[in-house]
C-alpha cells in the first residue's frame, strides 16, 4: 500500500516539477495569445467582488486585468523533455497558467493511480482533482456546451470570473442583509472555517475552455453547500456529491457519491440512505445547471428566491 502511494506521488510530483522547470526556462519571455481560442484564465484573475454594488469597478477591472491574467500559448520553441518522456513543444504546448501537458500514457497512469488513492483516502483533494481532470473530457465538453446554450452561462465563459479571497470581499458580503446569497455564503464559510483559496488549480485538462469549466466547478462547490443547506461534514459532502453527480455528470463525482458513504459515521448512514439521498435524487434532476448561475452578480438576491429560480426544493421541506 505504501509503495503504491509513493509511485503515484512520484508520478504527479514529477509532472509538476517538469512544469515548474518549463516555467523557469521561459521565465521573462513574452507570452503569445492563441488566435483560435478565447481569453484564457489565470490563477490571479481580477474581478470586482460585488457586481450589483459596484458594476463599474468590475468592468474597469475586467478590462484592465483580463488580458494580462489569462495566460496563452507559449512563444517558446524549445522542447523540454522530463523523465516520463513528455514534451512541451509546438505539438504539446502549455495552453494556460498551471497547465501541465501530458501524453495519453501519462493520463492513463494518472487516472488509475488517482482513482486508487481517491478510494483509499477520500481526503486527498489532489488525487480527487487529478482524477476529475484526466477522466472528465467528454463531460466537460457537454457542460461547456450547456453553458454556451444559456445566456448567463455564456456570460460566465466570456468573463471567466474567479472565486477566491483576492476577488471576493468577504467583509462586503458580511455586511449584506440576512437571507441574501452573499450573506449566507460568507456565514457558511465562517461557520465551517473554510476558505475559497483551498481549491486546487487545474493542471491536466488540455483545453483552456474546458479547464476553466473544471475550475469554475471547483470554485462554486461551496455555493452548492450553501444552496443545499449542507454543512462541510462527511454527511454533507456525500450529499452534495450526489447532487453534483446528477447535476454535472462528471465521472469523479460518481466516485465520491458511490464510495463516500464508506467514510460516513455509522450513526449517520441511516439518515443518508433514508433522507438525504432520496431528497437529492428527487431534487437534482429538476434543478438548473449551477454552472450557469453567475453568483457574483447575485450577492444581494434573497437565497430563497434564488433556490426557487434554480428549482431546488429545500431539504427542510422534503422532511
The response to whether 65 counts as a known ligand-binding position is no
Rounded CA separation 232/41 (Å): 28
Q: Which residues pair with 81 in a beta bridge?
A: 87
Query: Does 222 carry a binding-site annotation?
Result: yes
Does 296 belong to an annotated binding site?
no
Is 207 annotated among the ligand-binding residues? no
Binding-site positions for Zn(2+) read 221-222, 225, 237
Binding-site positions read 221-222, 225, 237
Amino acid at each position: 500500500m505504501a509503495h503504491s502511494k509513493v509511485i503515484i506521488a512520484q508520478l504527479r510530483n514529477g509532472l509538476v516539477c517538469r512544469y515548474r522547470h518549463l516555467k523557469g526556462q521561459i521565465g521573462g519571455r513574452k507570452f503569445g495569445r492563441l488566435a483560435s481560442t478565447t481569453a484564457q484564465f489565470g490563477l490571479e484573475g481580477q474581478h470586482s467582488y460585488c457586481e450589483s454594488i459596484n458594476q463599474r469597478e468590475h468592468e474597469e477591472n475586467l478590462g484592465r486585468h483580463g488580458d494580462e491574467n489569462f495566460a496563452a500559448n507559449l512563444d517558446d520553441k524549445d522542447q523540454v523533455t522530463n523523465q516520463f518522456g513528455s514534451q512541451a513543444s509546438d505539438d504539446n504546448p502549455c495552453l494556460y497558467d498551471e497547465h501541465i501537458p501530458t501524453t495519453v500514457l501519462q493520463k492513463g497512469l494518472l487516472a488509475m493511480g488517482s482513482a486508487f488513492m481517491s478510494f483509499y483516502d477520500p481526503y486527498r483533494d489532489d488525487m480527487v482533482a487529478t482524477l476529475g481532470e484526466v477522466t472528465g473530457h467528454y463531460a466537460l465538453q457537454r457542460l461547456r456546451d450547456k453553458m454556451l446554450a444559456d445566456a448567463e452561462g455564456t456570460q460566465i465563459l466570456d468573463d471567466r470570473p474567479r472565486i477566491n479571497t483576492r476577488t471576493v470581499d468577504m467583509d462586503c458580503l458580511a455586511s449584506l442583509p440576512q437571507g441574501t446569497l452573499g450573506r449566507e455564503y460568507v456565514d457558511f464559510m465562517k461557520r465551517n472555517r473554510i476558505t475559497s483559496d483551498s481549491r486546487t488549480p487545474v493542471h491536466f485538462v488540455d483545453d483552456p475552455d474546458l479547464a476553466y469549466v473544471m475550475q469554475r466547478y471547483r470554485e462554486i462547490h461551496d455555493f452548492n453547500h450553501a444552496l443545499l443547506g449542507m454543512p462541510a461534514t462527511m454527511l454533507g459532502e456525500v450529499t452534495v456529491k450526489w447532487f453534483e453527480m446528477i447535476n454535472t455528470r462528471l465521472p469523479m463525482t460518481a466516485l465520491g457519491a458511490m464510495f463516500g458513504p464508506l467514510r460516513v459515521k455509522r450513526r449517520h448512514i441511516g439518515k443518508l440512505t433514508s433522507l438525504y439521498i432520496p431528497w437529492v435524487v428527487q431534487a437534482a434532476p429538476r434543478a438548473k445547471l449551477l454552472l450557469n448561475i453567475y453568483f457574483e452578480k447575485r450577492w444581494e438576491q434573497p437565497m430563497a428566491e434564488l433556490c426557487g429560480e434554480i428549482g431546488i426544493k429545500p431539504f427542510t421541506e422534503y422532511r
